[in-house]
Structure 1
Amino acid sequence: MLIRTERQLSEVADEVSAITAVIRPILTGLLYSLKHDVVEEAGGYAGLKLSMLARLQRPGDGDCGICFEYAVHDALNREDPAVIERVADALVRCKVPGQEVASILFGAEKTGSQQLIDTAANRLTWESSLLSGTQGRPVKLKRHINAVAAALRKRTARAQLPQSIAGLWKADLFLGSTDADRWVGTTVKINRDALEGAKGLRIGVVPSRQGLSDAIRLDESRNLMVCPMPYDGSFMEVFYQGWEVVRQFIAADALLPKEVNLPRPAQREVARYLADRRGYPVLDVIDALTPLSQPHLLETTESQAGLVIVRGDRDEVGTTSVLAPQPRTV
């Protein structure tokens, strides 16, 4: 399996570039939210064309939430200043040591459709420790990662997890630092009211909400450090603009939507990028949009690693290796 590692070289410069950057993880989230058997009939994930994504994808209540998880993870990979600064503050509040903030996407099957556990082979080591917030020696994450994936799918497997991380199967991301190799379970919710605490979870990432403080704070009732993502002129505003572009593009059958559907010039320009590429595989389109996010924004390196996919069969559980973000050097 070819693993691509991306390192950010500079910050996103303009509105079109920013929206283009955020629609990449949105498309990824929608692609891997499709049912495995449906995708196989259409040629598999690698060959599924963008036009077919518009035909096969059916709007659901959880779509935006799945894409939000991917977008937060991708923003950390790109070292988006607004996101990485807030996550770094939350990690400090959770007493996680280290300077090189990173994210591991734990995207396993949650609603009957397939997602990948997108991480890199060299991210987790046998010394990677999960800080659960309880007294005692930290759990070695790599040792238990398969059990966590199994617990996500089977209730009977949850009893096999250590008590200190009994609810870790609810994690969407593992946030931490590569230099200290310390991580915390993180739940990501697009609906702030749906935030739930559990043993093994330390951070809750949510959008900021008008009228409420966007300060990072400890929610004692959930035992979570709540980390709101900034809105005005920042990450959440760009995310929702990108989400609107993709939704309108899919509703238009992978053609350029009418101007009344996307009246903002920047959004229409990004939708045009997609419409021009409707005949190409989704994963190729995502790659093609990388330089359009901003010239020289990302530097990509490649390596080989094994991959295991969580299938649609309820009794088949697996994990992949783990893919690491590379921080921007200054």
Structure 2
Amino acid sequence: MEIRTEQQLNPVADEVSAITAVVRPILVGILYSLKSDVVAEAGGRKGVKLKMLPRLRRPGDGDTGICFEYAAHDAVRRGEASVAERVYDALAFCKVPGEDVGSILFGAEKAGSQQLIDTAADLLTDDSSLLSGSRGRPVKLKKHLTAAAAAFRRKGIVSALPQSISGLWRADLFLGSPSTDYWVGTTVKINPATLQGDRGLRIGVIPASQGKSDKIRKDEKRNLILCPLPYDGSFVETFYLAWEVVTAFLAADAQVPKEVALPRPAARTVARYLADRREFPVLDVVEALDTLAQPELLQTETTAAGVILSGGTSSVVETTSVLAPAPTLF
């Protein structure tokens, strides 16, 4: 029997800090959703100023979903308790070894996809292995990233991916354990009704639904391990509060919105953080807000057969790991 205990090293921060933490990946998501030619005219993604976002962006139906992917990825990277614990449990359900969790953002469908794919490749090693639900030796993930991106652009038609991971092009993240270097394809959907499974996918990250079970469980129909993220008073609620701040801020032409648009004092405070930095590049603003965001790193101890193995905060790395089930049939 294995007993795993987690201690949050920092107390739950105030609402302003919590919203600020999630505003950061939302801004990044919006930046990367801009069309490449539009961004080029503005000096490239690194040069786009915050005040230019409302002028360059064309709101679309998929914006919320893209930003939710970035927020979930960032929460794993930061070691946010309510998310990191759920991801760890999903990986444990899949019998993935390792005491640390990480997330690699794949993002093949984003406008800045090539940069994201290159970044993902840099974070992987030549030994990084992708586990699927089928029998056989795990494939090396790094060598198949380009094929997965090409398959996405063709919507899976004439895919060069191995049959065991043929649906990898649908992945939004790779979740896994950086210490063991095993990963699993993960799909992230803010609307659970749009969740789709495929051979290259093992975990589905969704918001918890009110009135329904939020347990980590196997979805037999989609052949996915469902990982619902907590809603009330937790991550998903904070995400929507942060989304409200960003959309109201952009609608006000990168200025502090009227009180009727953001009636919560905490939300207006975060909007002022943004307005004060409107003349700076988006990515610089995101980095600057990091010091104001909520720190939620965990210290982990696992007890097995009388031996304590320490994981801890330092093992939750910035990226990008993906968790996957062992390569056996469920």
Instruction: Give TM-score, length-normalised by structure 2.
Output: 0.84
* In the alignment, structure 1 residue 36 sits paired with structure 2 residue 31: no
Cα distance in 2 between the residues matched to 1:48 and 1:61:
23
Deviation string 1:43-75 (CA, Å, 9 cap, x unpaired) is 211111111101111211000000001000100
* In the alignment, structure 1 residue 179 sits paired with structure 2 residue 174: no
Cα distance in 2 between the residues matched to 1:114 and 1:122:
16
* In the alignment, structure 1 residue 60 sits paired with structure 2 residue 60: yes
Question: How do 1:212-231 residues align onto structure 2 when only pairs under 5 Å count?
Answer: 212-231=212-231
* In the alignment, structure 1 residue 261 sits paired with structure 2 residue 231: no
Cα distance in 2 between the residues matched to 1:100 and 1:285:
29
Question: How do 1:1-330 residues align onto structure 2 when only pairs under 5 Å count?
Answer: 10=10, 13-110=13-110, 113-115=111-113, 116-117=115-116, 119=119, 123-155=123-155, 158-294=158-294, 324=319
Cα distance in 2 between the residues matched to 1:168 and 1:325:
16
Amino acid at match of 1:231: Y
Structure 2 CA distance for partners of 1:20 and 1:71, relative to 1, 3 Å: same
Query: Which blocks of at least 5 consecutive residues in structure 1 are unaligned?
Result: 1-7, 299-321
Amino acid at match of 1:125: T
Cα distance in 1 between the residues matched to 2:104 and 2:245:
27
Cα distance in 2 between the residues matched to 1:291 and 1:297:
12
- In the TM superposition, residue 102 of structure 1 has moved relative to its aligned partner by 0.7
Amino acid at match of 1:88: Y
Cα distance in 2 between the residues matched to 1:271 and 1:87:
30
SS of 1:117 mapped into structure 2: helix
SS of 1:107 mapped into structure 2: coil
Amino acid at match of 2:262: L
Residue matched to 1:306: none
1:49 and 1:282 in contact (8 A); partners too: yes
Which is worse superposed, 138-147 or 195-204? 138-147
- In the TM superposition, residue 194 of structure 1 has moved relative to its aligned partner by 0.2
SS of 2:47 mapped into structure 1: coil
Structure 2 CA distance for partners of 1:120 and 1:193, relative to 1, 3 Å: closer
Query: Which blocks of at least 5 consecutive residues in structure 2 are unaligned?
Result: 1-7, 298-316, 322-330
- In the TM superposition, residue 157 of structure 1 has moved relative to its aligned partner by 6.5
Number of residue pairs matched by the alignment = 293
2:156 and 2:167 in contact (8 A); partners too: no
Note the aligned Cα RMSD (angstroms). 2.1
SS of 1:103 mapped into structure 2: strand
- In the TM superposition, residue 186 of structure 1 has moved relative to its aligned partner by 0.2
Amino acid at match of 1:166: S
Cα distance in 1 between the residues matched to 2:27 and 2:105:
16
Deviation string 1:198-244 (CA, Å, 9 cap, x unpaired) is 11100000011111111111110000011111011110011110000
SS of 1:175 mapped into structure 2: strand
2:102 and 2:318 in contact (8 A); partners too: no
Cα distance in 2 between the residues matched to 1:156 and 1:210:
34
Residue matched to 2:307: none
2:207 and 2:231 in contact (8 A); partners too: yes
Which is worse superposed, 124-133 or 28-37? 124-133
Cα distance in 1 between the residues matched to 2:318 and 2:291:
20
Amino acid at match of 1:191: N
- In the TM superposition, residue 149 of structure 1 has moved relative to its aligned partner by 1.6
Instruction: Give TM-score, length-normalised by structure 1.
Output: 0.84
1:88 and 1:101 in contact (8 A); partners too: yes
Structure 2 CA distance for partners of 1:165 and 1:121, relative to 1, 3 Å: closer
